[in-house]
Amino acid sequence: MNDNLHTAQFFERSEKLQACIHCGLCLEHCPTYLVTGEEMSSPRGRIYLMKAVEEGSISATDEMFVSHEGSCVVCRSCETACPSGVQFGILMEQTREIINERAGVSLFREFIYTKLIGSPILTRILQVPIAALAITRLARLFEKTFDRRSFPLKRFASSIALLPDQVPFPHRRNSVYRSTAAKRGSVGLLIGCIGDLFTARINDATISVLNKMGYDVHIIPEIACCGALSAHAGFGEHARELALKTISALESATIDYYIANIAGCGAMLKDYPKLFEGHPEYERATRVRGTIRDISEFLLEFHEDDLLKMNLMLPKKKTIGYQAPCHLYHGQQIKDAPAELLKLVRNTDVFAFEENEICCGSAGTHNIEHPEMGEALLERKMIIITSRTPDIVATANAGCLMQLQLGVRDRDLPIPVMHVIEVVNSAMSGSIA
Ligand code: SF4
Ligand code: SF4
């Protein structure tokens, strides 16, 4: 282990590695193994390689190690399948931290994961060229002109393909959105560092639903980013800095609960205790965890009866196929709540897609950093979606929404892709066609 790394982050790492009993029950649940069929691209294979580095039999800069650990989408499907309780997510984040430390990182990656992520100013500046590309339709023109799968700069082409058609400018810093019904309480909302840039409509819908349910919604300006993207990419120190800022802000906020509508961010907030294992801030991280709820979880836990009484209904009958985000299904073990929430809306026929628990290939920034794997997983997902042809595809995470939108657009399918909370909001306001 590298002495420069934060030793607390590696508390009991070898014990965590020893928990794997090599049974292989996780293999058929691992998306990268399903695509490649290679043992070293499976959870068991990756743990084998991690142990080899710990024992010194291979180097952390070994090309095979770097490539197989790098191709993991960190979906944590293996955690759900594992009978031995292997904590794969945190092991993988530590592994990437070790690789970054020993093999080094490009200035570009360092800038993205330690400077851009978590900086409201830089995010706002980035929005200008992104919005220009989207609004002038140049992103779509590029997409139509070049096949992104064979374009020489695949990462660039994949980034362009994911751009939405409209990019609103952030307007939410330091804001409180007041309840529009009899007041029940106050909640905070994590709008996301990139989330409000690409999918502000999800935050709009979440605020609207919570306001109608009687909550003041606070956007806490000190919380710029939960740290998830940096942690997954192995920039642990920056992730812990962002996490500590978030913890301090939540400790002083006058809210009852802190709501996430992006599954990866919700999982990260709930996993802060793992990030601070063996660290003096562990207790603070654990206390804050109790206030975190995913939006579907929150509404079902506290307001299922209220929503039933509201008689939510779509004007026309719609079939809705639900695709679970990995960081909700596996990371937070929230498997049914989003579909259950959708079922409270009348005039719908809600079902979960086959292989619902397998990653769609988005995985934060993985589809940009590893476009081939992202495309292979998206293709697998779209075969399932096209075989069911729902009226609406619903999911519960911004990244999955953008990835599935790309898959739908590639195939010219007239199927809207919506966040679950957008469907609920539409049913409340009668705005869905
Ligand atoms: S986190 Fe997902 S991709 Fe990575 S090893 Fe586990 S199941 Fe496979
Ligand atoms: S299921 Fe768990 S114990 Fe079995 S091989 Fe996979 S990670 Fe190891």
| Domains recognised in the chain with CATH numbers | 7-103 (1.10.1060.10), 304-428 (3.40.50.1860)
For residue range 247-259, list pLDDT tens digits in order: 999 999 999 999 9
pLDDT for the residue numbered 121? 87
| Ligand 2: nearest atom to the Cα of 42 | 6
DSSP-assigned letter for residue 40: G
Ligand 2 contact via 43 beta carbon (within 6 Å): yes
Ligand 1 contact via 45 beta carbon (within 6 Å): no
Ligand 2 contact via 82 beta carbon (within 6 Å): yes
pLDDT for the residue numbered 97? 94
Provide the CA 194 distance to its chain's centre, in angstroms: 11
Strands 257-260 and 185-190: parallel
pLDDT for the residue numbered 7? 53
pLDDT at 328 over 80: yes
Longest dimension (CA), the chain: 64
| Ligand 1: nearest atom to the Cα of 79 | 6
Give CA–CA dist 379/174, Å, rounded: 41
Give CA–CA dist 165/41, Å, rounded: 35
Which residue's alpha carbon is at the smallest distance from atom 6 of ligand 1?
78
pLDDT for the residue numbered 168? 67
Q: Tokens 């293996």, residue?
A: 78
pLDDT for the residue numbered 4? 41
pLDDT at 8 over 70: no
For the chain, the residue count is 433
pLDDT for the residue numbered 9? 54
Q: What share of the chain is helix, strand, coil (3-state, %, to 5)?
A: 55, 10, 35
Ligand 1 contact via 296 beta carbon (within 6 Å): no
| Number of neighbouring beta carbons within 10 Å of residue 57 | 10
3-state SS class at 253: coil
Confirm if 353 and 388 have CB atoms less than 8 A apart: yes
Give CA–CA dist 119/123, Å, rounded: 6
Which residue's alpha carbon is at the smallest distance from atom 3 of ligand 2?
20
pLDDT band at 1 (very low <50, low <70, confident <90, very high): very low
Confirm if 236 and 94 have CB atoms less than 8 A apart: yes
Q: Which residue has the higher pLDDT, 140 or 50?
A: 50
Sign of CA dihedral 316, 206, 74, 363: positive
Provide the CA 212 distance to its chain's centre, in angstroms: 26
User: What percent of the chain is modeled with pLDDT above 90?
Assistant: 73
pLDDT mean over 91-118: 93
pLDDT mean over 272-282: 89
For residue range 370-420, list pLDDT tens digits in order: 889 999 999 999 999 999 989 999 999 999 999 999 999 999 999 999 999
pLDDT mean over 289-311: 96
pLDDT mean over 322-339: 97
pLDDT band at 432 (very low <50, low <70, confident <90, very high): low
Confirm if 64 and 48 have CB atoms less than 8 A apart: no
Give CA–CA dist 133/155, Å, rounded: 16
Query: For a pocket test of ligand 1, which of 25, 75, 80 has the largest count of ligand atoms closer than 8 A to its C-beta?
Result: 75
Q: Write down the pTM of the prediction.
A: 0.91
Strands 215-219 and 175-177: antiparallel
pLDDT mean over 241-245: 96
Provide the CA 263 distance to its chain's centre, in angstroms: 5
Ligand 1 contact via 73 beta carbon (within 6 Å): yes
